[in-house]
């Protein structure tokens, strides 16, 4: 039997519960513990206060994952991701066994694809993204780094979602549209036009 990959999680809030569930469902990883700004437990896992010196954790494993959520801003996840990469940690991508990801699409490191997601052909999903439960990413979509597609989000064919963007739950992006970087689309919205960077569409 293949040995499971040892993994440390950064973040032990509500989003981490969902991340843990996906990780456990893959049967590929062994979560050692979680790091946050408090000490305690999350589920069956210990939570420790995160040290400033990230290299300290290398003695446990060089594989880590960010389990901090993202709604209003990608800044916390993005800065942590950069620090982890600078310290030469490896962030795998995590894909739920209940998700469908086309063999002709690419999922980059540090991204999680959660339960019942469908990613169709010729898509490119960037680093450190959250593709949340029951999202639909249609053919030819490009999603840049540090984005969050929330639960039930629909990104239709050939859309381009630029970096650090949040797409709210049950929202729909009509085919071929461009969403500028660092934008927020509220839940339940339908976007029928291109959206400039730093926009909020509610």
Mind listing the pLDDT tens digit for each residue in 156-177?
A: 999 999 999 999 999 999 999 9
Confidence at residue 24, expressed as pLDDT on a 0 to 100 scale: 98
Q: Is the pLDDT of residue 121 over 90?
A: yes
54-77 burial by CB neighbour count: b if 16+ within 10 A, else e?
beebeeeeebbbbbbbbeeebeeb
Q: Are strands 45-49 and 40-42 parallel, antiparallel or unpaired?
A: antiparallel
Q: Is the pLDDT of residue 180 over 80?
A: yes
Q: Is the pLDDT of residue 1 over 80?
A: no
Q: Is the pLDDT of residue 197 over 70?
A: yes
CA distances from 23 to 17, 18, 95, 174 (A): 10, 9, 8, 31
Q: Is the pLDDT of residue 42 over 70?
A: yes
Confidence at residue 72, expressed as pLDDT on a 0 to 100 scale: 82
Q: Is the pLDDT of residue 106 over 90?
A: yes
Instruction: Give the mean model confidence (pLDDT) for residues 65-81.
Output: 94
Going by C-alpha positions, the residue among 95, 145, 139, 91 that lies closest to residue 116 is 95
Q: Is the pLDDT of residue 2 over 90?
A: no
Percent of the chain at pLDDT > 70 equals 100
* DSSP SS3 for 112: strand
Percent of the chain at pLDDT > 90 equals 98
Confidence at residue 108, expressed as pLDDT on a 0 to 100 scale: 98
Q: Is the pLDDT of residue 8 over 70?
A: yes
CB-based contact 148:70 (threshold 8 Å): yes
Summary mean pLDDT of the chain = 97
Instruction: Give the mean model confidence (pLDDT) for residues 91-117.
Output: 98
Q: Is the pLDDT of residue 124 over 90?
A: yes
Confidence at residue 71, expressed as pLDDT on a 0 to 100 scale: 85
């Amino acid at each position: 039997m293949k040995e499971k990959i040892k993994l440390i999680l950064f973040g032990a809030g509500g989003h981490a519960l969902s991340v843990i569930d996906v990780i456990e469902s893959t049967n590929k990883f062994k979560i050692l513990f979680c790091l946050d700004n408090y000490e305690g437990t999350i589920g069956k896992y210990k939570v420790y206060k995160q040290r400033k010196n990230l290299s300290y954790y290398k003695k446990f494993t060089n594989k880590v994952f960010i389990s901090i959520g993202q709604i209003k801003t990608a800044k916390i996840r993005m800065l942590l991701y950069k620090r982890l990469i600078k310290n030469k940690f490896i962030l795998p991508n995590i894909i739920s066994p209940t998700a469908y990801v086309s063999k002709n699409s690419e999922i980059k490191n540090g991204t999680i694809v959660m339960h019942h997601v469908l990613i169709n052909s010729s898509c490119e999903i960037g680093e450190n993204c959250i593709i949340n439960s029951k999202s639909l990413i249609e053919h030819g979509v490009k999603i840049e780094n540090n984005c969050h597609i929330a639960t039930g989000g629909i990104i239709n064919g050939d859309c381009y979602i630029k970096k650090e963007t949040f797409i709210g739950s049950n929202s729909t992006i009509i085919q071929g549209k461009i969403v500028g970087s660092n934008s927020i689309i509220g839940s339940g919205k339908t976007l029928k036009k291109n959206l400039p960077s730093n926009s909020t569409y509610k």
